[in-house]
Structure 1
Amino acid sequence: MKPLLKVMLLLATAFALTFFIGRILGILTVENVRHWLELAGSVDPLWLAGTVVVLLFLDLFVAVPTLTITILAGFFLGFPAGAAAAFTGMSLAAFCGYGISRVWGDRITSFLLRNPSDRLQMAQAFQRNGPAMIMLSRAAPIVPEVTACMAGATRMPFVRYLAYYSLSTLPYVLIASYAGSISSPESPQPAIYAALALYAALWIGWYLFRRHTGKISVS
């Protein structure tokens, strides 16, 4: 398990650096994202949907406020159009990360883990724990991209990854975008409650997962 956690932590650090750089430069802040969506919406709904897709796809390279964009997609596009745009953008980012890591992952993991036995342990650990990690990945920023890369690097079958990814992302997108569609600046409570409920459910899931894996390691 330690080799897997080491690689995931290093990947998460690399993704986190893009977030801090973006914040320092004032790029992809919540205010900027809302402004760009409002601007695109004033031109054409298709432009607005395309902007949502592009912003969420960029999450693979530069950390963006995913939940906020999904809620705003529901607010500006309505439901289910906002959900469709958000799911498309997130899926493009995840599948691209999977594909890149499937092609180049061996080189990266060989550089990070010099010992072949460590790389084997990493692959075996992700085979055991990867499905739960993927399904709970929306609990925190960056984790969805890290798990997508790990799935590709460890050569998890794409159909299997797609199933776990869909179980994780579809409910997240549907709930967040619907909450956005019934919210307004004067009444933002649905979006706030949805965000709190999503994170609470996912963090409870992580807690139960950690307890389960802890019991396995002890036994």
Structure 2
Amino acid sequence: MISLLKVFLIISGIFASTFVLMSFTNLLTISDIENWLNQATELSPIYVGSIVAILLFADLFIAMPTLTICLLSGYFLGHTQGSIAALIGILLAGVCGYVISRYYGKSILGFLLKDEDKRNDAIRTFQDHGFAMILLSRAMPILPEVSACLSGMTKMPFVHFSLAWLISSVPYVLIATYAGSISSLENPKPAVFTAIGITTFLWIAWYIYHRFNKNPLTH
């Protein structure tokens, strides 16, 4: 289990470094995203949806404020169109992360864990707990992308990965975009309370899972 923790931390560190880089350089801020969506709104909803989907897909490579983007998607596009745009981006990110990691995962895992027994231990641990990890991964940024990559590396069956990714993503997107759709500059409370509520709920779920399963990343 320590082997999986090592791989998990290294991959998380890589994703986190992109967030730190973006924060310190101000290459992309929430204000920038809002400005892009505002400008795209004047052209066509298709442009707004495309920006949302591209940003959420890019989250696979550069850490993005996923929840904020989903809220903005609902705000600018409404619940239905906002949900579709956000889901397209999130599903593409998950599937691409899985496929790329499955293709190159053996080499990457071999580089991170030289010992074959440790590699096998990491694979077994994720196979035992990976489904639940994906379900609860949206408790915090970076975890979803790391979980998608680990799924590919450990060769989790694509059907199992897809099911877990859908179960974790669809309700998340539907709730966030709905909150965004009923929010406004004058009344941002639905978006704020939803963001707090989703995060709190998922953290409580992580705590319960940890208590009953002795968290695979620390046990």
Taking structure 2 as the reference length, what is the TM-score of the superposition? Answer: 0.97
Amino acid in the other structure paired with 1:71: L
Q: Contact conserved, 1:127 with 1:156, CA < 8 A, in 2? A: yes
Give runs of aligned pairs for residues 11-90 of structure 1, distance below 5 A. 11-90=11-90
Distance in 2, Cα, partners of 1:203 & 1:135: 12
Residue matched to 1:161: 161
From the superposition, tell whether residues 215 and 18 of structure 1 become closer, same or farther in structure 2 (CA, over 3 Å): closer
Moved over 6 A (4+): none
SS at match of 2:214: helix
From the superposition, tell whether residues 184 and 124 of structure 1 become closer, same or farther in structure 2 (CA, over 3 Å): same
Give runs of aligned pairs for residues 175-194 of structure 1, distance below 5 A. 175-194=175-194
* Residue 132 (structure 1) aligned with residue 129 (structure 2): no
Q: Contact conserved, 2:98 with 2:149, CA < 8 A, in 1? A: yes
Give runs of aligned pairs for residues 138-153 of structure 1, distance below 5 A. 138-153=138-153
- Tell me the CA shift for residue 36 of structure 1: 1.0
- Would you say how many aligned residue pairs link Structure 1 and Structure 2? 218
SS at match of 2:62: coil
Distance in 1, Cα, partners of 2:74 & 2:13: 30
Distance in 2, Cα, partners of 1:60 & 1:216: 24
CA deviation string 1:144-176 (max 9, x = no partner): 000000000000111110101111111100000
Taking structure 1 as the reference length, what is the TM-score of the superposition? Answer: 0.97
Residue matched to 2:100: 100
Q: Which runs of 5+ in 2 are unaligned?
A: none
Amino acid in the other structure paired with 1:130: G
CA deviation string 1:154-208 (max 9, x = no partner): 0011111010111111110000000000000000011111111100110001111
* Residue 205 (structure 1) aligned with residue 211 (structure 2): no
Amino acid in the other structure paired with 1:60: L
Root mean square deviation, CA, Å: 1.5
- Tell me the CA shift for residue 212 of structure 1: 1.7
From the superposition, tell whether residues 216 and 101 of structure 1 become closer, same or farther in structure 2 (CA, over 3 Å): closer
Residue matched to 1:6: 6
Amino acid in the other structure paired with 1:75: Y
Q: Contact conserved, 1:29 with 1:65, CA < 8 A, in 2? A: no
Distance in 2, Cα, partners of 1:123 & 1:164: 17
Higher relative contact order (CA 8 A, sep 6+): 2
- Tell me the CA shift for residue 215 of structure 1: 8.4
* Residue 110 (structure 1) aligned with residue 85 (structure 2): no
Q: Contact conserved, 1:78 with 1:181, CA < 8 A, in 2? A: yes
- Tell me the CA shift for residue 216 of structure 1: 9.1
